[in-house]
Amino acid sequence: MKIIYICLVQLIFISAYMSLYGQENTVKGLISDENNAPLAFVNVSIAGTIDGTSSEEDGMFELETSAFGTVILKATLLGYEDYSKEINIPQQDKLIIVLKPNAKVLSEVVVSASSFQLKGGSPDNLKSAVELVTVAGSDGDLYKAMSVLPGVQAAGTDGKLLVRGGESRESQTYIDDMHVLNPYSSTPENTAARGRYSPFLFDGISFQLGGYSSEYSQGLSSILPLSTKDESRVSKLGASILNVGAGAGGTKSWAQSSASFNVDYTNLGPYENFLYSRGRGEWIKPYSTLSAQNQLRFNIGENSVLKTYFAYDKTRFERVTKNNFSTNERNLNFNEDNTYLNTTFRTKSKSGFNFFSGAALSVNDKRIMGGLVAEDRVGMKESELHLKTKISKRFSDTYKLGVGAESMIRAYNFSYADTATFSSDIDHSINGLYVMNDFILASDLFLNISSRLEYTSINKSWNVLPRISLSYAYNDYTILATYGKYQQLADRDYLLYNNELKTEICQHFLFGVHHQSKNKVYRAELYHKTYDNLVTGSNYNYKASGKGFSNGVDLFFSDTQFLKNWQYTLAYSYNNSKRSFLKYTEKVTPEYVTQHNASITLKYNLFKYKTIWAVTNRFASGRPYHNPNKAGIMNSETSPYNSLDFCVTYLAHKKVIVYASASNVLNRSNVFGYNYSSQKNSSGKFDRVAIQSDRNQFFVIGLFITLGGKTAYDPSTF
């Protein structure tokens, strides 16, 4: 830990020294509403930088920045339309900014409980990419940043999203409304996975924890829709240097189009050699990834956008490892190639129809040697072609109609070779039609009635999946109620042995009360979920006879201005889940469920010194596990989970960003369960091994440098 603190202190002092040579400019102004009443706590910032401030009680603001020349000034406040204006720095005259109220129109209303607009899409809960990655402990990862939200449980050793009592595969990711088959990177055992895509890629990030739109499929618990930028007007080039790798990227902008690229290389070899790791083996080839991303955008006419997004990454590692309670070591060699490509086209006709069509291809190819025993060979290749089209139109001030159709064509091949060879294939498709009806019943009363008809070829079944949601707004309060029915195919590894497994079903019942005023957000939500057709059985003999439920309450509090330049978020979740699944013939609490989860995040925006400090503390009650020494099922529980995380983001120069993050600074050894031996030892007990992360702590230090262009480089440049 001393090394971490020394590195952080040295980095901050070096950056502070660099900033002494940057020229500071001041932008002053007055912000008011249309009635000339001053507006306080308005967020004012320079686009492409972390330079910002907020207005005082009298509406006055004073922003210090090292930017120079032509920049974009932005001003945002809940309940008002976003304001942006091109200004020249140094600014001689005092700016006069007038914010207009945000009128609610049908095309902007999202009638959905349990939805967090993390970035874009709505003025409510609006956040920038910088705000997301400055969540302490996120290490710049989108999925880790979302773990502080209510309803999201403390992740286990794999680091994937666990939402409201559901396992990680119940959460699905979409990019530009197109499905992503493999959103997480592959990692060694007991090492947290990362999202493959940077939050800087996206204009819109809307995390929907339940009761989500009928447009989306194959997620029993939650949906994460991500939207890439429709245009990029700034050309720039940059590079990043981190203690775990390096990267480079840039954007070239033209009048009606733009092209962006990004390349990153990660190698944990130096990191592993420098710091202690608790891994049960030695590295032969350290964990490394090489990733490349590219996006092309074309504005065709006034209301049409064509976009193509491509991402590829290769992951490799080899280490000496062994199974639990075994002295036989083997070399585990892992190779993975993952490719994602989507193309989307959006247009709006003069008659008011909105058209969308898209195609996405996901291919994931894993090759493993020494997966179970020495020298065995495992192959897993999975692909999906997603085709989709939809159309919508607002026919009146009170009614909007949307319809769509899609098909997911999937293929999966699994092979295993040792003394014998086994191979199996699954080829199937999922086809869906949906209709969405949005109504304004009164000025503050909104209704959505939707239905989805879905057919799965693998078990030749049709299902009707209805959804209804009601929202009522009164002053600063919104009351929401939602019912929805959702389905998802059983996991591919079970379908290999029984391709007639019924589709898993989950029904959501949600009720929530939200309060928003100025910079404060208070939310409380109750939910109840019922599960049917869960997979049961073991030893390659599976059927869909499991049932279950999950219910609880989520609380969320946020104040972005409770003290000047300070903000906090506080989240608490209670979850009660039981299900019969796999070897458990009776309903039990799954081993990945934590009943109590809480997090508190504090941020301090030191605008004068261009620094954002953040601290996050996460807490979770223990996880259930089965102890063979005792009678019963899952009658034991691990110790509680706790992690204190810290990060700092510093604009050392108008073209240099410094980022440092340290997770679990108290070095707590969190336990996520136990593996027990199959036989008793000489004392008549079962030996056990704790399930823990491969490393207690992780830290990242990086420099993000602009090589060309006028604005500061962000880690993706997209």
Residue 316 has pLDDT above 50, yes or no: yes
Q: Residue 187: pLDDT band by 50, 70, 90 thresholds?
A: confident
Per DSSP, the residues of 403-439 read: EEEEEEEEEEEEEEESSSEEEEEEEEEEEEEEEEEEE
pLDDT tens digits, residue range 339-355?
Answer: 999 999 999 988 889 99
CA distance 269 to 260: 29
Tens of pLDDT, residue by residue over 392-403, are 998 887 899 999
pLDDT beyond 90 at 159 = no
Predicted local confidence at residue 420, as pLDDT: 80
Residue 2 has pLDDT above 70, yes or no: no
Residues 540-554, mean pLDDT to the nearest whole number: 94
Secondary structure (3-state) at 16: helix
> How many whole angstroms separate alpha carbon 159 and alpha carbon 268?
17
Nearest to 56 by CA among 573, 565, 626: 565
At 436-479, the pLDDT tens digits run 999 988 878 889 999 999 999 988 889 999 999 999 988 888 89
Cα 450 from chain centroid (whole Å): 26
pLDDT band at 21 (very low <50, low <70, confident <90, very high): very low
- Higher pLDDT: 32 or 653? It is 32
Neighbours of 209 (CB within 10 A): 30
- Cβ atoms of residues 244 and 707 within 8 Å: no
Q: In sequence order, which residues have a C-beta less than 8 Å from that of residue 5 and are 6 or more positions away?
A: none
Of the chain, the end-to-end C-alpha distance in Å amounts to 34
Mean pLDDT of 118-142: 53
pLDDT for 19:
43
pLDDT at 360 over 50: yes
Mean pLDDT, rounded, for 362-377: 90
Q: Are 47 and 233 in contact (CB under 8 A)?
A: no
For 251, 450, 467, 495, the CA distances from 470, given in Å and listed in that order, are 42, 12, 10, 37
**The pLDDT of residue 142:** 76
Answer whether residue 418 shows pLDDT above 80: yes
The tokens for 444 are 């503050």
| 238 has pLDDT over 90 | no
Report pLDDT for 50: 67
* DSSP code at position 35: T
Q: List phi, psi (to 5°) of 468.
A: -140, 135
Backbone angles phi, psi at 166, to 5 degrees: -95, 155
Among 282-286, 494-498, 530-534, the range with the most confident prediction by mean pLDDT is 530-534
Give the H or E element holding residue 364.
strand 354-369
Instruction: Determine the 3-state secondary structure of 169 from DSSP.
Output: helix
- What integer pLDDT is reported at residue 712 of this predicted model? 53
* Share above pLDDT 90 across residues of the chain, in percent, rounded to a whole number: 36
Average pLDDT, the chain: 83
Higher per-residue pLDDT: 452 or 147? 452
Q: Answer yes or no: is pLDDT of 412 > 60.
A: yes
Please, are residues 438 and 446 in contact by the beta-carbon 8 Å criterion? yes
The two tokens of residue 578 are: 């039981």
Residues 109, 402: Cα–Cα separation, whole Å: 14
Q: In this structure, are strands 202-208 and 115-119 parallel, antiparallel, or unpaired? A: antiparallel
Strand positions, DSSP E, 518-625: 520-538, 541-563, 566-581, 584-588, 596-606, 611-620, 624-625
State the burial class of residue 397 (Cβ atoms within 10 Å of its Cβ: 0-12, 13-18, 19+): exposed
pLDDT at 24 over 70: no
Q: Give which of 705, 622, 621, 615 is closest to 664, Cα–Cα.
A: 615
- Decide if pLDDT at 616 tops 70: yes
Cα torsion 602, 97, 119, 293: sign: negative
Residue 593: closest CA among 549, 534, 555, 557: 549
pLDDT tens digits for range 510-539: 999 988 877 788 899 999 999 999 999 988
Q: Is the dihedral of CA 179, 181, 187, 188 positive or negative?
A: positive
> Residue 63's pLDDT band (boundaries 50, 70, 90)?
confident
Contact at 8 Å (CB) between 517 and 558? no
Sorting pLDDT into bands at 50, 70 and 90, what band is 324? confident
Which parts of 90-153 are beta strand (E)? Answer: 95-98, 115-119
Q: 23 falls in which pLDDT band (50, 70, 90)?
A: low
Is the pLDDT reported for residue 612 higher than 60? yes
Give the count of beta carbons closer than 10 Å to the beta carbon of residue 39. Answer: 22
Query: Rounded to two decimals, what is the model's pTM?
Result: 0.82
Residue 617 binned pLDDT confidence (cut-offs 50, 70, 90): very high
672 vs 451, residue with greater confidence: 451
- Report d(CA 60, CA 30) in Å as an integer: 4
Question: Is 371 strand, coil or helix?
Answer: coil
Q: Tell me, what's the pLDDT at 5?
A: 40
Contact 689, 323 (CB under 8 A): no
User: How much is the average pLDDT of 610-635?
Assistant: 84
Q: Mean pLDDT throughout 639-664?
A: 87
> Does the pLDDT value for residue 430 go beyond 90?
yes
Check residue 607 and give its pLDDT: 73
Average pLDDT over residues 483-498: 92
Strands 95-98 and 25-32, bridge-based pairing: parallel
**Which architecture, in CATH terms, is 25-98?**
Sandwich (2.60)
User: What pLDDT, on the 0 to 100 scale, is given for residue 109?
Assistant: 39
pLDDT tens by residue, 206-231: 788 888 889 998 999 999 888 887 77
Query: CB–CB of 487/470 below 8 Å?
Result: no
Query: What is the structure's pLDDT at 593?
Result: 92
Whether residue 586 has pLDDT greater than 60: yes
- 502-511: per-residue pLDDT in tens? 999 999 999 9
β-strand partners of 536: 543, 582
Q: Are 40 and 31 spatial neighbours (Cβ–Cβ below 8 Å)? A: no
Which residue in 17, 209, 190 sits closest to 117, CA to CA?
Answer: 209
Share of the chain above pLDDT 70, in %: 87
> Domain segments of the chain: what residues?
25-98, 106-708
Is-contact 373 330, C-beta < 8 A? yes
- CATH architecture of the domain covering 106-708: Beta Barrel (2.40)
Averaged pLDDT for residues 564-590: 91
The pLDDT of residue 18 is: 42
- Band of residue 103 on the pLDDT scale cut at 50, 70, 90: very low
